[in-house]
Amino acid sequence: MTRAAAPVGTGPAIDSEAKLEFVEFLLTSINAQESSRRAVDWLIAHTAATEAAVLVADGQSNQVLLVAEHGISAGAIIDFSLGRDATAHPLIEALSSPAPVYIEDLPIHQHGPLASRAFHAIPLRSDAKEPGQGLLLVAGAGPTLDPGAAWMGRTLGKQISRLLGRQLLAETRFGQERMLLYSIINAVTDPILLTDTEGKLIIANSHAEKLFAAPEEASEGWRRAAGLNNMLFSAALSTSAVGMTELARRELLLVDPLEGSDLLFELLSSRAKDERQGTYVVSILRNVTDLARAKEEIEESYRTLRVAQAEVRDERHRLDLIIDSVADPILVTDQEGDIVLMNTPAERLFNTPGIDDETALRRVRANGANLTSFVSNVLTRSGEQRYRGEIQLGDPVTGRPLPVEALAGTILSEQGELMWVVTILHDLTEAIEKARLYEQLKQASVELERKVTEATAELAEQNELLRRQHIALEQASALKSQFLANMSHEFRTPLNAILGYTHMLLNNVTGQVSDPQRKSLSRIDSNARHLLALINDILDITRIEAGRMPLNATTFGVGELFEEVQAELEPIIKRSNLAVTTKVRGSVPKLRTDRQKVKQIVLNLLSNALKFTPAGSVTMTASYDTRLKQVGIAVRDTGVGISPDDQAKVFEDFRQLDASPARGYGGTGLGLSICRRLSHILGGTIDLESTAGTGSTFTLRLPAKAKRR
């Protein structure tokens, strides 16, 4: 045990600002315990001290009390007790020592509250003559007394003796208890708060202070977070206080004032009754942030697991569905060649259960043996991923041979060893049948091709024959036309003579003719005229057919043509008693074409109309189609009309709809066929619209300018 007056070190000078600040505080403090606590904090902050404590001698109880400390365990605080009368105790000795004492190697029971083996004990008093009122214990800086500690001893000594005079030490004792309580609740790692029933704070441990109190130097964010936490806490307390029985438990979300992150606490609060203080509430906050996070993570991974499980189930289901929906047999065999899985079509071929017919069983076994030999082939070639081959199987029920194409794939384990062989069988019966049919079809096609070649040759021969016949016919036709043209000409000369002489006789040139003679002569005249008309028509047709009908284009108006035609047929019109009118609709340009031929056509159409109209009217209309650049000449009558069946026939040569000898109309039956031929020569057409009994309209359509042929 060594007790020595400690030498005061020189050390680095303490910031005089810090000293000034402390002294200013002492001036405002009227509480010895508060001053002592501040002194301890100052020493820890400004000197090398690691532990410090302030002891005060209580005159009433004759006890030395611990009023402030730093770095002292709750256990040591509880254990500490020292009577003033223990005069042999080094601390009591130090109390009356005139100067600071350095104490080392004390036996543990005399050690006092400090855990260090060596410390300085500085007596506290107002001046050197007075007995010590208390002790300032400082450890951690070695045997040389820190000048800061020495200064503190002096300064605090004055303050203590100033205040102790006024302050009841009982209060100090109460302070010690309070300090004990502080150090106990500070030792608990959960934030603990003692509040009144309104939520006003009475005591909070340091962990709670971190959440609910912001020191002066705290940032704005810290301050706001602390304010928010206070609000949240009192709100939680007030709601739970409403129906609070013994112990209320609820979750409380607060903000970490330093990091700004969310902290989840479980708030345990209970009411306590104290005779002096009344009812107050003790709240313990248990940080469950990590717990909640862990719970969330577990829930999340459980969810993921469930999803994965569902996916696997779906996948398996899909696979089953695919395998079962494939019409081809599918089998999975293991390394030994044993079947481990197969679909329904495969079961029909390879599954024995349910078959009692011996023959069928034999066939199934034969199928199995054939498959096994195929699979063992696959297994020996384990280097290949795919293997294709043909297997001869048989239908177990009917015994029908079943040639199949087998396609095998291997499934390897992660280590690369062969695990399973998947084999798909494809029925080749149809393919073989198709190949046979294809062969037949090919032969038939070759045969057909040969026949077509033959027929083509024959056809070519016949074509040639026809071509020659056509040439011969054309020549014959030309000869016929030539002959007819010559003949007509030859006929016309004597016929004109006949007509001339008949005319003379009828005009009494050769003497007076009697009435019966006149009758006969008139018959001769009309028949000769008919014959002449017939000959003229035939001559026209033959000329057209022989291509000897030249075009003689001039320019003329349709109106004037109408007048001319009307004038020519004037006697017939008069006789017919029909109203004949002409119309030119819109502006019709002048025609540039063969006037003679157009007139012949219109004359023919008008005379037919007059002939086949017993009563009513005949109208000739001219119009112009600007789009087609065509002039239309329509001859409309209200006569007998032509039935639909006969409408095409009227344009045929020698066609008269009433061919009976008793028919009421004259004519040769060549008029319309000549008209149509002429219209074609002019580059136009003739159409007919008619209803039997109500009348007909023949329309000639011509290009306004005939093209040169």
Query: Comparing C-alpha atoms, which of 673, 655, 649 is closest to residue 540?
Result: 673
Contact flag: residue 608 with ligand ADP (CB under 6 A): yes
User: Is 699 an interacting residue with respect to ligand ADP (CB under 6 A)?
Assistant: no
| Chain position carrying tokens 């063969």 | 594
Distance CA 271, CA 71 (A): 32
Residue 483 or 665 having the CB closest to ligand ADP: 665
Q: Is 538 in the site for ligand ADP (CB under 6 A)?
A: no
Q: Can residue 638 be called a binding residue for ligand ADP (CB under 6 A)?
A: no
Residue 21 CB: number of other CB atoms within 10 A? 11
- Smaller CB separation from ligand ADP, 594 or 637: 637
Region near ligand ADP per CB under 6 A, out of 3-11, 224-232, 245-253, 669-677 = 669-677
Residue 145 near residue 102 (C-beta atoms within 8 A) = yes
Please pick, from the candidates 642, 678, 682, 700, the single residue that binds ligand ADP as defined by CB under 6 A: 642
Please report how close the Cβ of residue 659 comes to ligand ADP at its closest, in angstroms. Answer: 8
Cα separation, 671 vs 650, in Å, equals 9
Nearer to ligand ADP, 542 or 656 (CB): 656
Q: Which amino acid is at 194?
A: L
Cβ atoms of 270 and 247 closer than 8 Å: yes
By CB under 6 A, is residue 541 in contact with ligand ADP? no
Residue carrying the six token digits 């105790």: 89
Question: Which region among 324-332, 506-514, 578-586, 649-657 touches ligand ADP (by CB under 6 A)?
Answer: 649-657
Contact 349, 327 (CB under 8 A): no
Q: How far is CA 346 from CA 334, 351, 395, in A?
A: 16, 8, 11
Task: Candidates 158, 173, 362, 655: give the one binding ligand ADP (CB under 6 A).
Answer: 655
Stretch of 100-108, 147-155, 258-266, 663-671 lying at the interface with ligand ADP (CB under 6 A): 663-671
- DSSP secondary structure, 8-67, as one string: BP--SPPPHHHHHHHHHHHHH---HHHHHHHHHHHHHHHSS-SEEEEEEEETTTTEEEEE
Q: Does 640 bind ligand ADP (CB under 6 A)?
A: yes
- Judged by CB, which is closer to ligand ADP: 655, or 705? 655
Q: Please give the backbone phi and psi of residue 339, each rounded to the nearest 5 degrees, phi first.
A: -70, 125
Read off the tokens for 611: 């002939």
639 makes contact with ligand ADP (CB under 6 A): yes
Tell me if 669 contacts ligand ADP by CB under 6 A.
Answer: yes
Give 194 or 686: the residue with its C-beta nearer to ligand ADP.
686
672 binds ligand ADP (CB under 6 A): yes
| Binds ligand ADP (CB under 6 A): choice among 106, 650, 681, 700 | 650
Residue 609 as a binder of ligand ADP (CB under 6 A): the answer is yes
Give yes or no for residue 58 binding ligand ADP (CB under 6 A).
no
Q: What minimum distance in Å lies between the beta carbon of 635 and ligand ADP?
A: 8
* 442 token code pair: 């090919």
Residue with Cβ nearer ligand ADP (229 or 608): 608
> How do strand 386-394 and strand 401-412 relate by DSSP bridges?
antiparallel
Count of beta carbons in the 10 Å neighbourhood of residue 451 = 10
If the CB atoms of residues 183 and 604 are measured against ligand ADP, the closer one turns out to be: 604
- By CB under 6 A, name the one of 612, 622, 633, 636 that touches ligand ADP: 612
Counting contacts by CB under 6 A, is residue 656 touching ligand ADP?
A: yes
Give kind and range of the element (H or E) at residue 484: helix 429-506
| DSSP-derived secondary structure for 325-380 | H-SS-EEEEETTS-EEEE-HHHHHHH--TT---HHHHHHHHHHHHHHHHHHHHHHH
* Under rule CB under 6 A, residue 601 binds ligand ADP: no
Tokens representing 539? 């001559």
Between 612 and 624, name the residue whose CB sits nearer to ligand ADP: 612
Cβ pair 602, 567 in contact under 8 A? no
Query: Closest distance between ligand ADP and the C-beta of residue 600, in Å?
Result: 12
By the rule CB under 6 A, 657 interacts with ligand ADP: yes
Count helices and strands (H / E) in the chain: 17, 24
Question: Which of 584, 695, 677, 597 has its CA nearest to residue 631?
Answer: 584
Place of tokens 């009435």: 515
Task: Give 213 or 572: the residue with its C-beta nearer to ligand ADP.
Answer: 572
Least Å distance, CB 453 to ligand ADP, is: 50
Residue 229 interacts with ligand ADP (CB under 6 A): yes or no: no
Is residue 683 near ligand ADP by the rule CB under 6 A?
no
Distance CA 464, CA 471 (A): 11
Binding-site size for ligand ADP (CB under 6 A) equals 20
Tell me whether residue 7 or residue 693 sits nearer to ligand ADP (CB atom): 693
667 counts as binding ligand ADP under rule CB under 6 A: yes
Whole-angstrom distance, CA of residue 600 vs CA of residue 593? 13
Q: Which residues bind ligand ADP (CB under 6 A)?
A: 608-609, 612, 637, 639-640, 642, 650, 655-658, 667-673, 696
